[in-house]
Structure 1
Amino acid sequence: MAEEKKKMSLPAKMGIGFAAGILLGFIFQMGGWDIAWVKPFGDIFIRLIRMIVVPLVFISLVAGAASMGDLSKLGRVSVKTIIYYVGTTAIAVFIGLIIANVFQPGAGLTLSLEGLKAREVTPPGTLETFLNIVPLNPVQALAEGKLLQIIFFAIFFGFALSSLGETGKPLLKIFEVGNEVMIRITAAVMHYAPYGVCALIAYTVGNSGIEVLLPLMKLIVLMYVAALIHVCVVYLPLLKGAGKFPLVTFFKVMSQPLLIAFSTCSSAAALPANMAATEKLGVPRQISSFTIPLGTTINMDGAAIYLGLAAVFVAQIYGIELSFASQLSILLIAILASIGSVGVPSAALVVMTMVFTQVQLPMEGIALVAGVDRILDMARTTLNVMGDATGAVVVSRLEGDLDLEPVGDGSIG
C-alpha cells in the first residue's frame, strides 16, 4: 500500500514564501525595476488579518470572561501580566542603552540634516490615557479597532453574562460557537499567508536601496543584536522555567506569528496567529484571549530597545553628551510612554517624541532614521510578538493553568 505523502505545514510554506520574497526583492533591486506592483498582494493579506482581529478579540474575550466567572482570577492574571510587561520593557530599554553606549552607532557618522523635519505630534496626558480605556461608545471602539477599549468592554460584558447563570447560557453558547467560527475564518485567511508574506518581503527588500541602508547599517545591526540579546537574556530563561516543553518546540509553534510579525511589521496582524499558537503551547483560551490582545496594545519591548538605541544615536550625531541622569530619564519615560501611548495613532512616533522632549534632543533627529525605519520595525514587531507569547506562557504557569501536553506544529486550524 502506498504511503500517503505528508502535507507541508503552513509555517513551512510561509518560510518558503519568505525566502522567495527576499530573492524576488533582490532581483528587482539589482535590475533597477519597480517593485511597487507587488505591494497590493501584501496589503490584501494585512487587510484580511485586520478584518478578523476585532471580532476575534471581542468574541473570544467575552467567551473567556464569561466562562472564567471569577473576578479575583482575572485580577491576579491582570496584575501578573502588567508586572511582566513593565519589567521586560524596562530591561529592553536598558539593553538598548548599554548596546548604544558600548558600540556608539552615531560616533563619527556624518549625515545631512538639511531639510529634515519631524512630524509634530501631541503626546496624551496621563489622565486622558486612563479615561481613554473606557469607551464612550463600544460600537465606535469596535469600528475604530481600539483594542484596549474593546478589551475593557468585552471583559465587562463577559462577567455580566456570567452573572446571569443559567439564563445567560444560551447567549454564552452563541459566543462560544462564534469563537469557533472566527478560528475557522482565521485558518482560511492563513492559507493566503505565504503569498502575502512573499509580497511584503519582496517590496521591503526591493524598495530599500543599498544607498539608504549603508549609512545606517551599524544602527540596523545593533538593533538586531540587541533584540537577540533580549531574547536570550529574558525570554528563553523565562520560557525554560515556565514551560517544560523544549525551546525548539516553542519556536516551531511560534514560527507562524513570528514570520507574520517580521513581514508585516504589525503586532495586530500577528495577533490571531499568536493567540492560536499560545493555545497550542498549552495556554488556556481564557488567558490567551486576555494577555495577547493586551500585550499587542501595551507591550513594546522591541520599541523600548529602539528608543534607547535611537536616543543615543541621535545624541551622537548632534554631538550631544547624554549624562547618566538623562539616560535614566530615557529608561523611565520609555516605560511610561509605552503604556501612555495606548490607542494613539503613530504610537511609536509619540513615544519617541516624549523621550526626545524629556532629554532635550532635536526632533529633527527622528527623521534621520525614517529611511530605514521599516527594516528596524521588522525586528521591533517580532520581539513584541514573542514577548506577548512568552508573557502568556509565564502567566499561565504562575496560575497553574499551563497544559504541558505535547503541542502541534504551529499551524492554525
Structure 2
Amino acid sequence: MTQQHPLLRLINRTSLVSQILIGLIVGIVLALLAPEWAKSAGLLGNLFVGALKAVAPILVFVLVTASITGHKQGQKTNIRPLLGLYLFGTFAAALVAVLASFMFPSNLHLVANTADVTPPGGITEVLQTLLFNVVSNPVKALMEANYIGILAWAIALGIVLRHASDSTKALVSDLSDGVSTIVKAVIRCAPLGILGLVASTLAETGFDALFGYAHLLMVLIGSMLFIALVVNPLIVFWKIKRNPYPLVFTCLKESGVTAFFTRSSAANIPVNMALCEKLKLPKDTYAVSIPLGATINMAGAAITITVLSLAAAHTLGLQIDLGTAVLLSVVATISACGASGVAGGSLLLIPLACSLFGISNDVAMQVVAVGFIIGVLQDSAETALNSSTDVLFTAAACMAEDEALLDHPVVSRNV
C-alpha cells in the first residue's frame, strides 16, 4: 500500500476553513509585496468562481430532481415555513436599514452616470421578469443560470419521475451523487481561489476609492452585521429554542466567508449544499431551499436598496415620514426577491425605490453609479449575508421539526 505524501496528509488534516484563512492571508501579503504577481494570481480566483458557476446549475437541477423523485409520501420537506422565514428575514432587514438610515443619515457625492444600464420600470416589470423566468426553456435556463427556471423544470421532472421504475430512480440518484462528488472536488480548491481573488482585487483596485464613502459603507455594512449577529440569531432562537450563535457562526464561517470573496450567491450554492450535508439536514429540504434562497432570500439586497434610496432622499433634502419609510421596506422586500431576475442585481432596483420619493431617474442612476464604486465591499458583504442566511434558515426550519438534529455538535456546543 502506497504511503500518502506528507503534504497531502497535512492538507487532509487541516480544515477547509483554516485553509481558506491561510489563502486569504497569503493573498493580502502577495498584493502588498508583489502587486504584479498578485494581478496574475487573479487567474486562480477567476477559474475557481468559473468552476463553481459552471457546476451550480447542473447540481441544482440534478439534486432537486433526485430529491423529489425519491421523496416518500408523507415525508416533511419544511419548505412552507422556510418561505415564511425568507420573506420575514428580508422584510426585517429592510426595516433595520430604514432605522439605520434615520439614525445615521448619509450624504452622497453624486457622480456622472457611468453605468450603461437600464433599470426596471416598476415592481410589475420585476415580477413579470420573474414569471417569464419560470417558463424559460430548460436548456437556456441551465446556460444562463436562471435558478427560478431550473427549479421549475427540476420540480416538474421530479414529480413525473416519482412514478418511474426503481432502476430509473436509482439512475437519477447515482447521477446526483456523481455531480455532488465533482462539486466537492471543486470546493476543495477554495483556498487557492480565495488567494487569487483577494490578491488581484487588492492589487488592482485597492480601497482608496472607498474612503470618500466611508460613512455610507458603515451604515450599509453595520446594518448587515446587525442582521447577521442580532436579528437572525433571534429568529433562529424563536425556531429552535436553543443558543443560536454556534449555528450562526458556523454558517458565517463556512458559507459567508466564501460568499464574501466570490460575490456570487449562485457560485456559493455548492458550498451551501455541502454545509447542509455536513449539518446532516434532510436532502429533500436543502436541495430545494438553497437554490430557492439564492433567488428570494435577499436581506442584503433589501438593505442596499433601502439605505441608498434614503441616502439619495437625504442628499436632496427630502423629508421622509415613517409611513413612507415602511412602504419603502415593503417595496425593497418585493424588489429584492426579484433582484436575481434583473441584470445588475440589487443596484438596478434603486431607481424603482427612489421613484417613491419622486426622485428623477437621472439622479437615481447617479446613485446606482455610487453603488458600483463601493461595490467591492457592498456587494461582498451583501452576498455573504444573503448566502449564509440561506443555510441558517434551512437548518433552523429543519431543526424545529426534527429535534434529533439539535444534538449535532454545531448546535449543542457552547460558544
Q: TM-score, normalised by structure 1?
A: 0.87
> Share of identical aligned residues, percent?
24
Query: Is residue 2:325 matched to residue 1:323?
Result: no
Query: Is residue 2:261 matched to residue 1:263?
Result: yes
From 385, 388, 393, give the equivalent of 2:387: 385
Query: Is residue 2:36 matched to residue 1:39?
Result: no
Report deviation, 1:15. 1.1
Cα distance, 1:318–1:208 mapped onto 2, change above 3 Å? farther
Q: Is the partner of 2:135 in helix, strand or coil?
A: coil
Structure 2: which amino acid aligns with 1:377?
A: D
Query: Is residue 2:16 matched to residue 1:10?
Result: yes
Report deviation, 1:273. 1.0
**Cα offsets for 1:350-406 (capped at 9, x unmatched):** 322321223233222221232111211111001001211122012213433762343
Give the equivalent residue in structure 2 for 1:105: 106
Query: Is residue 2:336 matched to residue 1:338?
Result: yes
Report deviation, 1:27. 3.9
| Counterpart Cα distance in 1 of 2:385 and 2:404 | 22
Give the equivalent residue in structure 2 for 1:172: 169
Report deviation, 1:289. 0.6
Cα distance, 1:405–1:180 mapped onto 2, change above 3 Å? farther
Q: TM-score, normalised by structure 2?
A: 0.86
Contact 1:396–1:402 (CA under 8 A) maintained in structure 2: no
Q: Is the partner of 1:237 in helix, strand or coil?
A: helix
**Matches of residues 182-331 of structure 1 in structure 2 within 5 Å?**
182-243=179-240, 247-248=245-246, 251-252=249-250, 255-331=253-329
Unaligned residue ranges in structure 1 (runs of 5+): none
Cα distance, 1:136–1:301 mapped onto 2, change above 3 Å? closer
Give the equivalent residue in structure 1 for 2:148: 148
Q: Is the partner of 1:396 in helix, strand or coil?
A: helix
**Cα offsets for 1:245-279 (capped at 9, x unmatched):** 87336534652322210101111111111011122
Contact 1:147–1:343 (CA under 8 A) maintained in structure 2: no
| Counterpart Cα distance in 2 of 1:46 and 1:102 | 37
| Counterpart Cα distance in 2 of 1:272 and 1:161 | 24
Contact 2:38–2:196 (CA under 8 A) maintained in structure 1: no
Query: Is residue 2:27 matched to residue 1:21?
Result: yes
Contact 1:238–1:390 (CA under 8 A) maintained in structure 2: no
Give the equivalent residue in structure 1 for 2:4: none
Give the equivalent residue in structure 1 for 2:6: none
Work out the number of aligned pairs and report it: 395
Contact 1:258–1:382 (CA under 8 A) maintained in structure 2: yes
Contact 1:197–1:260 (CA under 8 A) maintained in structure 2: yes
Give the equivalent residue in structure 2 for 1:92: 93
Report deviation, 1:53. 0.4
| Counterpart Cα distance in 2 of 1:222 and 1:127 | 29
| Counterpart Cα distance in 1 of 2:322 and 2:93 | 17
Structure 2: which amino acid aligns with 1:389?
A: V
Unaligned residue ranges in structure 2 (runs of 5+): 1-8
Cα distance, 1:406–1:80 mapped onto 2, change above 3 Å? closer
Report deviation, 1:291. 0.7
Contact 1:267–1:384 (CA under 8 A) maintained in structure 2: yes
Contact 1:61–1:158 (CA under 8 A) maintained in structure 2: yes
Structure 1: which amino acid aligns with 2:187?
A: M
Contact 1:89–1:335 (CA under 8 A) maintained in structure 2: yes
Q: Which deviates more from structure 2 when the two are superposed, residues 247-256 or residues 276-285?
A: 247-256
Contact 2:296–2:337 (CA under 8 A) maintained in structure 1: yes
Cα distance, 1:185–1:365 mapped onto 2, change above 3 Å? same
| Counterpart Cα distance in 1 of 2:327 and 2:236 | 30
Cα distance, 1:240–1:83 mapped onto 2, change above 3 Å? closer
Give the equivalent residue in structure 2 for 1:48: 51
Structure 2: which amino acid aligns with 1:212?
A: A
**Cα offsets for 1:108-158 (capped at 9, x unmatched):** x6x353465663223462662453253242222222221111111111111
Give the equivalent residue in structure 2 for 1:406: 408
Across the aligned residues of Structure 1 and Structure 2, the Cα RMSD in angstroms comes to: 2.7
Cα distance, 1:305–1:277 mapped onto 2, change above 3 Å? same
Query: Is residue 2:71 matched to residue 1:68?
Result: yes
Cα distance, 1:119–1:321 mapped onto 2, change above 3 Å? farther
From 355, 359, 364, give the equivalent of 1:357: 355
Q: Is the partner of 1:68 in helix, strand or coil?
A: coil
Cα distance, 1:345–1:127 mapped onto 2, change above 3 Å? closer
Contact 2:236–2:244 (CA under 8 A) maintained in structure 1: no
Structure 2: which amino acid aligns with 1:225?
A: G
| Counterpart Cα distance in 1 of 2:75 and 2:175 | 26
| Counterpart Cα distance in 2 of 1:114 and 1:156 | 47
Contact 1:14–1:256 (CA under 8 A) maintained in structure 2: no
Q: Which deviates more from structure 2 when the two are superposed, residues 193-202 or residues 19-28?
A: 19-28
Structure 2: which amino acid aligns with 1:85?
A: Y
